[in-house]
Structure 1
Amino acid sequence: DVAPASARNIRFQFDGIPYADVIERFAQMANKPLLAGMKPEGTLTYNDANAYTYAEALDTLNVILAMKGVMLVENANYLQLVPFKELPSTPLKLLRGAMPVGDVRPGEVVTAVLDAKNVDSKEITDSLTSMLSNAGSLAVLPRGRGLIITDRLGNIQRIKTLLAAIETDAPAERQMKTFALQNTSGAIVADLLNRTFGVATAPKRQEFNPTTKAMVALPPDPNEYITAVYDDASRTMVLFGPRERIALAEELIAKFEQRDGPAGDVRIYMLQSTKAEELATIIRQAIPGVAEPKETGSAAATKARVIADVQQNRLIVASPVAAQLEQIDLLINRVDKGITGNFGNTNNVPLRTQTVLLTKVFRPRATEPKDFAQILN
């Protein structure tokens, strides 16, 4: 008799057992025949005192087999050992759009068709590929806007959530770009980007309603802002928006990701009487240690960056040195006599800025992080 699927009666206690024997034992325990054209070489040593249900054991075994580029796919009548490269052509469970997943496990590999209403599927394919597991694959529907993804259900659901976050109700010419973050807090950077270039910064739109004889507010134009979403599992920042604003956001991310430069802060100046590009050029010429617009490499890591947002006539200044930032601040106050901030020009006062503290992530090599934390606190 086969034990109930919910019974915790499986344990992993292998010490130098060949992978082929492990797979065969699992199939015997599941009381299902095994189809395997090839079996991975090597031996497995894995001991866990915890008991597993059948579903948990299958997912755990597949995590182990992933290191060998294969996985066990469950069928109603048998278990099949499938190489990752053959998964797209394997008859897996098919999920479509918003259909319920039923009893599909998060670790189970399925094929899903995801709608992408206002996203160019071909354009975002490269961006999403980095978020797939080593068992995953992605293809674009030949007609219409949609994606065919084969991967573990948990991964597909993360991508689906991401697409929902960046989708808009109106079609627009928007680009998708991803960045793998190494040295900064993704949540903090995403929040900064959304506050600096996000929907709240889009120009207000109104139209006349002939029925009510009044002006009514319209939703922001998707071509006027970006959406930043951070995927913690893959440490990937996803930007979605117009190309020119993504380019500005990319410069800001580069400043955060500087590995060799010390942390500083970022200031945003709302200019009134001077064009952003002209003032940025003046700053680069007048103050030493300010990087050129396209300057990269180790030489630029310790320099300040001045980013000109032409559309909103803003300057975004990031500097690792407080004294240098004060020099830039003083120069801007002398050249531009306007007012900064989120609201209109109410008084002719010195420039005020929005300041955002930079956060960097340090990975100690020879000391426990908690020991460093005690010293700093």
Structure 2
Amino acid sequence: MVRLIQANGCQDEEDLTVEQRQKKGYLFRAVSIVIAFLVITAVWGADTGGGLQEGKAGEKAVTIDFDGVDIVVFIKFISELTGKNFVIDSAVRGNVTVISPTRITPQEAYMVFESVLDVHGYAAVPAGNIIKIIPAAQTRGQNVETRLRESAVSPSDKVVTRIVPLSYANADEIKKILDPLVSKGSIIVSYPPAGMLVVTDLLSNIQRLLKIIEAVDVQGMGEQITVVPLTYGSAAPMAKSISGLFQDTSRKTKRDATPEPIIKVIADERTNSLIVLASEADTAKIRELIKLLDREPVRGEGDVRVYYLQNAKAEDMAKVLMAIPVAPAGKEQEKGKTPILSKEVQIVADKSTNSLVITAGKDDWQVLEEVIRKLDITRRMVYIEALLMEVSVAKDFELGVEWRGAEKTGSIDGRQIVTFGASTSQPSAFPGVNTGTQSVTLPLGFSLGVLGEGISIGGFLFPNIGAVVRAYQKDSDVHILSTPQIMTTDNEDAEIQVGKNVPYLTRQDTSQSGIDYSHYEYKDVGVTLQITPQINQDRFVRLKIMQEVSQVIKEESSVGLPTTLKRMAKTTVIVKDGHTIVIGGLIDDTMNSGVYRVPCLGGIPGLGNFFRTESSNTGKTNLFVFLTPHIIEYVSEADGLYREKKEQIDKVKEGSIKMYERKGGK
């Protein structure tokens, strides 16, 4: 069925069937169309004082406002407004909504009419004095307007056929590019012999296609056109990046005598594709570059990244990174200067996962990542063997070692040795000691020395402190306080405490009821050793030492409270891996008393005084601290230490103390 709507408002119904004309519904529909038109006309008259308002150049202006109106009613309105005759295909049906708050001219109203038809899948095709309203898919076989060159009209949704002559590009290649870009139902025909394209599409879309054709239809040397669809990237910024890269490359070869190859990359945002015009070799390079750039974003590659630390503590690392100088606001970094961070960098430490949450740009992230990589390394450890002992000053220190006070006795590895003073009567009695004749008395002041792995003093050669320990077993004047061993990380504090928690009577009270109350405080008494090692690159260890020995003496003060004797030393030394240092001179006065009596007779009151003897003597004891650090850097060193200590434990006998020389030295 075909409807004819004429500009005078009449509708030809010759093609209607008798049954259809007999339907009262159709009559009612025709009446409603007339009424709607009269209402719109009345509105125009009211708005313009009884007529349509005059626009530019004497044209009348109208306001279009339809809400869900039958498309046939809308076509009737346009027919009356523009004076055009329409033939409507039976497939044209549906409701339209058009809102135009401003007044427009009839010519502009007709352009709106063409857009409405395009939205609903229809097209207006001129045929002599009438215009056919048909489905857009049928336009290719109709008599649409044909244009040979671009006209100066505004873009519209009018269906036209445009003949596009090509100057350089191949028509079939251009057709492959444009096929995905035309509207639904439109067609493109290529004619390679004449080098032209025939495009039937909306005028607005044809004008967009012409811009693409103009960009790719250029003179070249064996260039080809390739369409590369993108999966993850955005076409516009990627085209800009690739074009800028090849433009910079072409500038460097501008002085060459040979013509520069033409390389163009155009973005089609509607299909998110890149249109590449280049030679086969350049196209292959561009494809490879696009493959690298068009990838799925990886988590953590944005401005916010998470870095999981393997060795360092997140809180400490964050403090170090935030202390890096930042660039002054509003100033760019000068070339050749050390990279610094921008002011926008933020670093947050997550303690639970030991990670850093970093907000930074690409350049700042590269600086931070390099710093973190160098700081987050496996730290070396130090195994420290310690020996704390008391030696009576009154007794010759028969240890097979000649201690000398502030005397240079030689050198080890180029270092001068300062030793303590003492003497020995029979040094050959101790294993590992070579005999000699020199001897010096033991100094009573604080002393510090380096023994090393082997030392020659006054003609004696001593391997290590193992010889000293072997002498303790039979000497009552040598008292071992502690032999602690501890392992700690480089630059971390280590502490050993061996002792008791002793109660101290601080106050005594009596209540009103006569009950006595005593108040006590508990203090640690014993041996405390605090060490902080620091390793340098030459395997020397800097030891920060705090050693304290405290004990409760038998005598009490005048107030009846206990007295604590404390001996403490703080120092910092540098010693090579595997060598031994010793701290001495911490002297204490001791008083010993005793009663010797004849059994039975010594206990008789009065008479027993003749059969017993009371004696007391005062002595001095010197406290020595031996320390030997061993650097543990590799797994093999840790395994060797484990096997060595296990072997020593197996050899220890009950009631004896032994120290064996470290095997497999550096």
Shorter-chain TM-score: which interval? Answer: 0.5 to 0.7
- Give the structure 2 partner of residue 120 of structure 1: 170
Q: Distance in 1 between matches of 2:146 and 2:154?
A: 11
Of 145, 149, 173 in structure 2, the residue corresponding to residue 93 of structure 1 is 145
Q: Distance in 1 between matches of 2:187 and 2:63?
A: 31
- Give the structure 2 partner of residue 253 of structure 1: 290
Q: Is the 8 A contact 1:190 1:229 kept in 2?
A: yes
Call closer, same or farther: CA 1:124–1:24 in 2, change over 3 Å.
Answer: same
Q: Secondary structure at the match of 1:50?
A: coil
Q: Distance in 2 between matches of 1:200 and 1:93?
A: 46
Q: Aligned ranges for residues 307-326 of structure 1 at < 5 Å?
A: none
Q: Secondary structure at the match of 1:52?
A: coil
Q: Secondary structure at the match of 1:169?
A: coil
Of 275, 279, 302 in structure 2, the residue corresponding to residue 242 of structure 1 is 279
The aligned amino acid for 1:78 is: I
Q: Aligned ranges for residues 214-363 of structure 1 at < 5 Å?
A: 217-222=257-262, 226-232=263-269, 235-261=272-298
Q: What percentage of aligned pairs have identical amino acids? A: 18
The answer to whether the aligner puts 1:30 opposite 2:82 as a matched pair is yes
Call closer, same or farther: CA 1:119–1:58 in 2, change over 3 Å.
Answer: same
Call closer, same or farther: CA 1:16–1:161 in 2, change over 3 Å.
Answer: closer
Of 34, 40, 60 in structure 1, the residue corresponding to residue 92 of structure 2 is 40
The answer to whether the aligner puts 1:194 opposite 2:243 as a matched pair is yes
Q: Is the 8 A contact 2:124 2:158 kept in 1?
A: no
- Unaligned runs of 5+ residues in structure 2 are 1-6, 9-51, 304-361, 371-666
Q: Distance in 1 between matches of 2:224 and 2:248?
A: 14
- Give the structure 2 partner of residue 61 of structure 1: 113
- Give the structure 2 partner of residue 270 of structure 1: none
Distance apart, 1:101 and its partner CA: 0.9
Q: Is the 8 A contact 1:118 1:169 kept in 2?
A: yes
Distance apart, 1:34 and its partner CA: 1.0
Q: Distance in 2 between matches of 1:253 and 1:84?
A: 37
Distance apart, 1:139 and its partner CA: 0.9
- How many residues get paired? 259
Q: Distance in 1 between matches of 2:147 and 2:229?
A: 29
Q: Distance in 2 between matches of 1:103 and 1:31?
A: 21
Distance apart, 1:16 and its partner CA: 2.1
Q: Distance in 1 between matches of 2:207 and 2:284?
A: 28
- Give the structure 2 partner of residue 278 of structure 1: none
Q: Secondary structure at the match of 1:119?
A: coil
TM-score using structure 1 length: 0.57
Distance apart, 1:13 and its partner CA: 1.5
Q: Is the 8 A contact 2:65 2:100 kept in 1?
A: yes
- Give the structure 2 partner of residue 169 of structure 1: 219
Please give the per-residue CA displacement for 1:93-115, whole angstroms capped at 9, x wherever unaligned: 2222xx34154754332211112
Q: Is the 8 A contact 2:168 2:217 kept in 1?
A: yes
Q: Distance in 2 between matches of 1:150 and 1:247?
A: 33
Q: Secondary structure at the match of 2:181?
A: coil
Q: Distance in 2 between matches of 1:75 and 1:85?
A: 17
Please give the per-residue CA displacement for 1:290-320, whole angstroms capped at 9, x wherever unaligned: xxxxxxxxxxxxxxxxxxxxxxxxxxxxx9x
Of 171, 180, 183 in structure 2, the residue corresponding to residue 133 of structure 1 is 183
Q: Is the 8 A contact 1:40 1:68 kept in 2?
A: no
TM-score using structure 2 length: 0.34
Please give the per-residue CA displacement for 1:257-311, whole angstroms capped at 9, x wherever unaligned: 445435579xxxxxxxxxxxxxxxxxxxxxxxxxxxxxxxxxxxxxxxxxxxxxx
Please give the per-residue CA displacement for 1:336-356, whole angstroms capped at 9, x wherever unaligned: xxxxxxxxxxxxxxxxxxxxx
Please give the per-residue CA displacement for 1:28-65, whole angstroms capped at 9, x wherever unaligned: 32222211222433222333222222232222222222
Please give the per-residue CA displacement for 1:114-167, whole angstroms capped at 9, x wherever unaligned: 122322221232321222223532111152322111122332222222222223
Call closer, same or farther: CA 1:61–1:120 in 2, change over 3 Å.
Answer: same
Q: Secondary structure at the match of 2:100?
A: strand
Q: Secondary structure at the match of 1:161?
A: helix
> Which protein has the bigger strand share?
2
- Unaligned runs of 5+ residues in structure 1 are 208-216, 266-318, 328-377
Q: Is the 8 A contact 1:20 1:39 kept in 2?
A: no
Q: Distance in 2 between matches of 1:62 and 1:182?
A: 36
Call closer, same or farther: CA 1:242–1:170 in 2, change over 3 Å.
Answer: closer
Q: Distance in 2 between matches of 1:14 and 1:260?
A: 47
Q: Secondary structure at the match of 1:111?
A: strand
Q: Secondary structure at the match of 1:29?
A: helix
Q: Secondary structure at the match of 1:245?
A: helix
Please give the per-residue CA displacement for 1:3-38, whole angstroms capped at 9, x wherever unaligned: 899636233321221122222322232222211222
The aligned amino acid for 2:279 is: P
Q: Secondary structure at the match of 1:15?
A: strand
Instruction: Tell me which of the two structures has the higher relative contact order, counting C-alpha pairs closer than 8 angstroms and 6 or more residues apart.
Output: 1
Q: Distance in 2 between matches of 1:105 and 1:77?
A: 23
Call closer, same or farther: CA 1:127–1:85 in 2, change over 3 Å.
Answer: same
Q: Is the 8 A contact 2:175 2:188 kept in 1?
A: yes
Distance apart, 1:227 and its partner CA: 0.8
Q: Distance in 2 between matches of 1:41 and 1:254?
A: 48
> Which protein has the bigger helix share?
1
> Larger C-alpha radius of gyration, 1 or 2?
2
- Give the structure 2 partner of residue 273 of structure 1: none
Q: Is the 8 A contact 2:233 2:295 kept in 1?
A: yes
Q: Secondary structure at the match of 2:120?
A: coil
The aligned amino acid for 2:259 is: P
Of 26, 37, 52 in structure 1, the residue corresponding to residue 104 of structure 2 is 52
Call closer, same or farther: CA 1:100–1:125 in 2, change over 3 Å.
Answer: closer
Q: Distance in 1 between matches of 2:297 and 2:220?
A: 42
The aligned amino acid for 1:221 is: P
Call closer, same or farther: CA 1:260–1:103 in 2, change over 3 Å.
Answer: closer
Call closer, same or farther: CA 1:255–1:20 in 2, change over 3 Å.
Answer: farther
